[in-house]
Chain A
Amino acid sequence: MKIVVCIKQVPDTKGGVKFNPDGTLDRAAMLAIMNPDDKAGLEAALRIKDEIGAEVTVLTMGLPKADDVLREALAMGADNAILVTDRVLGGADTWATSTTIAGALRNIDYDLIITGRQAIDGDTAQVGPQIAEHLGIPVISYAEDIKVEGDSVIVKRQYEDRYHILKAQMPCLVTALSELNTPRYMTPGGIFDAYDKEVTVWGRADLKDVDDSDLGLKGSPTKIAKASDKVRKGAGEKVTLDPSESVSYIMDKLKEKHVI
């Protein structure tokens, strides 16, 4: 079977976000990593490969430096890697991004597409379901477990207070939660091999059945009106009160902030 895992390179926010002295985000100081939900999706694909055999292709859309996460995926055990990169694709929102990725996916055979639920930079959780919609295939979001059974996948789909066990016909798309598994480490030999492999690079011309008007900034229905780095909050109020006054003080604040 053929599995495609869509991955994204994101700045690492795990080890604490770094700030410039003026309180803005210091993006340069943060490492670029493979998005955690995507990595869990890749691990899920590699486990299917280990168990029943599969050809695993990783695909990313991004700047040329996103090559790094593709190499990492290869070093973990992916078989092929595709980088979709083109200046005309820049500034894409989730609609244009999913249109682009769907355009790339139309070039290749797949039984199962796995994406992360959401990326830690945007937190939108939209690209996976939107790719499925563009491709006209079923989507199961928020997967806690993925199993292949014949020509179907059985997925444990998480909700706030329950889970559903869902069965979908392949080809289909599943979005993975990082709770799905603990991704394996790369191996040193895998790293050496990854750099000996070719990464397929696709540009605008390689996207199938996609209009120019649906790509990049121009093709994005949503437009940013304003963006700002949240300035770190400084000290708030500090009070010294006796215990009962302290309690009323906290109760007032909790009410004011609609916590209770």
Chain B
Amino acid sequence: MDFGLDKKHEMARTLFKEFAETEVKPLAQEVDETEQFPAETVAKMAKSGFMGIPVPKEYGGQGCDPLTYVMCVEELSKVCATTGVIVSAHTSLCIDPIMTYGTEEQKQKYVKPLATGEKLGAFALTEPGAGTDAQGAQTKAVLDGDEWVLNGSKCFITNGKVADVYIVIAITSVTEDKRGRKKKNFSAFIVEKGAPGFSFGTKEKKMGIRGSSTYELIFEDCRIPKDALLGPEGKGFPIAMHTLDGGRIGIAAQALGIAEGALDRAIAYTKERKQFGRSIAQQQNTQFKLADMATRVEAAQFLVYRAAMAKANQKVYSVEAAKAKLFAAETAMAVTTEVVQLFGGYGYIREYDVERMMRDAKITEIYEGTSEVQRMVISGALLK
């Protein structure tokens, strides 16, 4: 398959790799230990244009393709999955829906500062009672004169509190179908930090990606202007789903990066580590494990790049995105678990990064649609 990888992409990868090694890797351990959002790194990424890679230049972006963006998240995640998801949530879940559904005014107002990295973005769909099943959602928005009034709460929001701009999905009406079943109709809104009645609840303490700022969002009679509505009223659910299709490619790239990072470390470590008088890389058990992991990682890379190409060239890419995320996430989990095993006791202690990578990998099977949801999307298309 031709991914259209050319010299531009090669050089972009060199850039991302160098940035990741120099700016991100030295902080990865500390970011995990202290659970501190790496604000300085984000500022550096903004300066280098990493916060708006697939955004057209006229909106403050870099004018690159989705593949370049995916490579950025991949390279960052090789050394620090926290940094990877910050870029992914910002780009795929906040900028992308505004670019796709926003009015020209909204693009000018929001995309420009987001793409330059002056502002950070987030996306809020999940609620305590509504994860995979969005119909369980409670957050409502009611039009009151020239303002929408939001009430409810959102949870597990990546870039929560640190972000300036939030895409919030809320119920704007409830209709009954023919059989009398109630159906909630959603709309998407752009909510700025500082809007009256908008506050932050608990900061989540997580197993992995611990530097990522995960917060509860609280809306108490939160008033936002009428023109904060993103896309047509009542179309919030398809907007959210389409946004997540894109987001899944970012998370797939994150998972791919984690797997690649773990494999790189395993190769280096097994060559160096001696047991029974020879390096463990000289033992066939190690060699076969490395071979299996490398094969699997490359297969994941193919699926992820394929999905990025689909996003560049197709209107709908749900299945490609779902396959990429499903396979990359499960690869990340499997590879990091195996790598910890290869490291033995050293894999279990924090001095070596693989312990963190294994914890980080797990979330990729969960957020932006669990692996089960991805299987539903893929099988749904097969059995349509």
How many residues of B are counted as interface, with CB atoms below 8 angstroms from the partner's CB atoms? 20
Q: Which of A70-87 contact B (CB under 8 A)?
A: 71-72, 75
Contact with A along B2-16 (1 / 0, CB 8 A): 000011100110010
Question: Which residues of chain B are near A195, meaning CB under 8 Å?
Answer: 6-8, 11
User: Which residues of chain B are near A75, meaning CB under 8 Å?
Assistant: 11, 15
Within 39-73 of B, Cβ neighbours of A (below 8 Å) are at 47-50, 53, 57, 61-64, 68, 72
Cβ contact within 8 Å between B8 and A191: yes
Q: Is the CB of A191 within 8 A of B12?
A: yes
Complex Cα spacing A117 to B11, Å = 26
Asked if A189 and B63 sit within 8 Å, CB to CB, the answer is yes
Nearest-neighbour CB distance to chain A for B14, whole angstroms, equals: 8
Q: Is the interface of B mostly helix, strand, loop or mixed?
A: helix
B residues in contact with A186, CB < 8 Å? 11, 15, 48
Q: Are A190 and B7 in contact (CB under 8 A)?
A: no
Cβ A192 vs Cβ B64 within 8 A: yes
Complex Cα gap A189–B115 (Å): 12
Mark A161-200 against chain B: 1 for CB-CB distance below 8 A, else 0: 0000000000000000000000011111111101100000
CB atoms of B63 and A192 under 8 A apart: yes
Q: How many A-B contacts at CB < 8 Å in the complex?
A: 51
Q: Is the CB of B7 within 8 A of A188?
A: no
Q: Does B118 contact A (CB under 8 A)?
A: no
A72 (CB) vs chain B CBs: closest residue: B11
B19 in the interface (beta carbon within 8 A) = yes
Summarize A's interface: helix, strand, loop or mixed: helix
Within 8 A of A (CB), among B121-175: none
Which chain A residues lie closer than 8 Å to B48 at the CB level?
A: 184-187
Interface pair A188/B57, CB less than 8 Å apart: no
Distance A186 CA – B62 CA, assembled complex (angstroms):
11
Most A C-beta atoms less than 10 A away, residue of B8, B19, B47, B50: B8
Q: Check B53 against A188 for contact (C-beta < 8 Å).
A: yes
- B7, B61, B72: the one within 8 Å of A189 (CB): B61
Does B11 lie within 8 Å of A187, measured CB to CB?
A: no
Would you call B18 and A185 a contact (CB within 8 A)?
A: yes
Q: Which of B6, B12, B18 touches A188 (beta carbons < 8 Å)?
A: B12
Please measure, in the bound complex, the distance between the C-alpha atom of A72 and the C-alpha atom of B53, giving whole angstroms: 17
By a CB distance below 8 angstroms, the chain A residues around B49 are: 187-190
**Which A residues are in CB contact (< 8 Å) with B62?**
187-189, 192
Q: A185 contacts which chain B residues (CB < 8 A)?
A: 15, 18-19, 47-48
Check if A189 sits within 8 Å of B11, measured CB to CB: no
Cα distance A177–B372 when bound, in Å? Answer: 56
A191 touches B18 (CB 8 A): no
* Chain B residues in 8 Å Cβ range of A191: 8, 11-12, 15, 64
Q: Which residue of chain B has the shortest Cβ distance to A195 in the bound complex?
A: B8
* Residues of chain A contacted by B50 (CB below 8 angstroms): 188
Task: Chain A residues near B64: list those with CB within 8 A.
Answer: 188-189, 191-192
**Closest chain A residue to B18 by CB distance?**
A185
Least Cβ–Cβ distance between B114 and chain A, in angstroms:
15
Question: Which residue on chain A has the smallest CB distance to residue B9?
Answer: A191
A189: B residues at CB distance < 8 A: 49, 53, 57, 61-64
Minimum distance in angstroms from A178 CB to a CB of chain B: 15
Which residues in A have their C-beta under 8 angstroms from that of B7? 71, 195
Q: Mark A139-158, 1 if CB is under 8 A from B, else 0.
A: 00000000000000000000
In the assembled complex, the Cα of A186 lies from the Cα of B50 at a distance in Å of 10
Residues of B within 8 A of A194 (CB): 11
Residues in A whose Cβ lies below 8 Å from that of B61: 189
* Residues of B297-338 whose CB lies within 8 A of A: none
Residues in A with CB closer than 8 Å to B63 are: 189, 192
**B53 contacts across to A, CB distance below 8 A:** 188-189
> What's the Cα separation between A191 and B62 when bound, in Å?
9
| Chain B residues closer than 8 Å to A71, beta-carbon distance | 7, 11
C-alpha spacing A71/B11, complex, angstroms:
9
How far in angstroms is the closest Cβ of chain A from B192?
26
A194 to B50, CA, bound (A): 17
Chain B residues with Cβ below 8 Å from A188 are 12, 15, 49-50, 53, 62, 64, 68, 72
CA distance A151 to B19 in the complex (A): 37
Task: Kindly list chain B residues whose C-beta atoms are within 8 Å of the C-beta of A192.
Answer: 8, 62-64, 68
Interface residues of B (CB under 8 A from A): 6-8, 11-12, 15, 18-19, 47-50, 53, 57, 61-64, 68, 72
Q: Which 7 A-B pairs have CB atoms at the shortest separation, nearest pair first? A: A189-B62, A187-B49, A185-B48, A188-B62, A188-B64, A195-B8, A191-B11
Q: List 27 A-B contacts (CB under 8 A).
A: A68-B11, A71-B7, A75-B11, A184-B47, A184-B48, A185-B15, A185-B47, A185-B48, A186-B15, A186-B48, A187-B48, A187-B62, A188-B49, A188-B50, A188-B53, A188-B72, A189-B49, A189-B62, A189-B64, A190-B49, A191-B11, A191-B15, A192-B8, A192-B62, A192-B68, A195-B6, A195-B7
Excluding A185-B47, A189-B49, A195-B8, 13 further A-B contacts by CB distance (< 8 Å) are A68-B11, A71-B7, A72-B11, A75-B11, A185-B48, A188-B15, A188-B68, A189-B64, A191-B11, A191-B15, A191-B64, A192-B63, A195-B11
